[in-house]
Amino acid sequence: MKKMFLSVIALSLIFFLSGCSKSSDSEGPGRLSIKVTDAPFSIENIESAWVTINKIEIRRTGDGIPDGNPFMTIYEEPVSLNLLELRNGVTETLAEIEIPQGSYNLLRLYVDEASLVLKDNEGSFNVKVPSGQATGIKIFIRPEVKVEGGLTSELLIDFDLSRSFILRGNPESPAGIDGFIFKPVIRAVNNTTAGRIEGKVTNTDEEMLPDAEIWIEQDSVISTTYTDNSGQYVLPGIPAGSYSVFATKENHDTVSYSGIEISEGNRTICDFILTEI
């Protein structure tokens, strides 16, 4: 069974290059809408989790030859986000702009600062971002996203704080927590070719289970989340394909399903029943 510790926190930021319909100007630029969301996770010991983003840049495929600055700025306005408020597919729009047609394969995300506030007066922790402020965090987009005139594309940025915020110290020792080290782990997904998986987790008495851990694998772990207070979960931005999906909770067994198919632009429902042990 997977065990949940204070340092195991799964968050995600979602930015969409999106829209709804094709315009009459198919030769013109595409439109870019930037949104942010957070995958749900257990907040038993967390009061808030803040990240400040001050700029986002994108690079067109093939522009990797050193030429000064091949990146194009698509967002430049500091914004602080409490990721706990963006859960289970809830998004917040940062900006909507038009960008030239073409394929894009690399982002650069500038994170000014990050912090965690713990419950029960256990303290707040400001964490320095080693390269996120000065040089940006480079994130390859796989597969690359294609923007066409008058059409829309979607890009998902998954900010995995389960591996990005590393606990220093031992909360069970007299010295307690000595802060966090911030080493961002981020994936970028072409959401145009992605789907989502969602569902509920109950026990054998059909009672909804909050804080159950859900993760999806394809050779390795792709994404992780936790059920909310109503026992529901959502894993957005999963590239189309076949996966294994797992669910567990402390003092319960682990249930898995293999061969779960995720298709482009659709949602897959996968419910779990866990047995108490």
CATH number, domain 194-274, options 2.40.70.10, 2.60.40.10, 2.60.40.1250, 1.10.10.10: 2.60.40.10
Which two three-digit tokens encode residue 63? 């522009």
Closest of 33, 9, 46 to residue 184, by C-alpha:
9
What is residue 187's predicted lDDT score, i.e. its pLDDT?
A: 82
Proportion of the chain above pLDDT 70, given as a percent: 74
pTM score: 0.73
pLDDT tens, position by position, 27-83: 677 766 656 554 433 456 678 888 888 899 999 887 655 555 588 898 888 888 887
Residue 243: band (very low, low, confident or very high) from pLDDT cuts 50, 70, 90: very high
Q: Give the start-to-end residue ranges of the domains of the chain.
A: 30-193, 194-274
Predicted confidence (pLDDT) at residue 274 exceeds the cutoff of 60: yes
What tokens were used for 242?
């076949």
Structure tokens that stand for 176 in this block: 């307690």
For 192, the 3-state DSSP assignment is helix
210 within 8 A of 163, measured Cβ to Cβ: no
- How far, in Å, CA of 153 to CA of 263, rounded? 16
User: Confidence band (pLDDT; 50, 70, 90) for 267?
Assistant: very high
* Of residues 152 and 104, more confidently modeled: 104
What residues contact 63, with CB distance under 8 A and at least 6 apart?
70
Contact (Cβ atoms closer than 8 angstroms) between residue 89 and residue 235: no
Structure tokens belonging to residue 5: 């510790």
Query: Using CA atoms, how far apart are residues 172 and 94, in angstroms rounded to an integer?
Result: 39
User: What local confidence, expressed as pLDDT, does residue 253 receive?
Assistant: 97
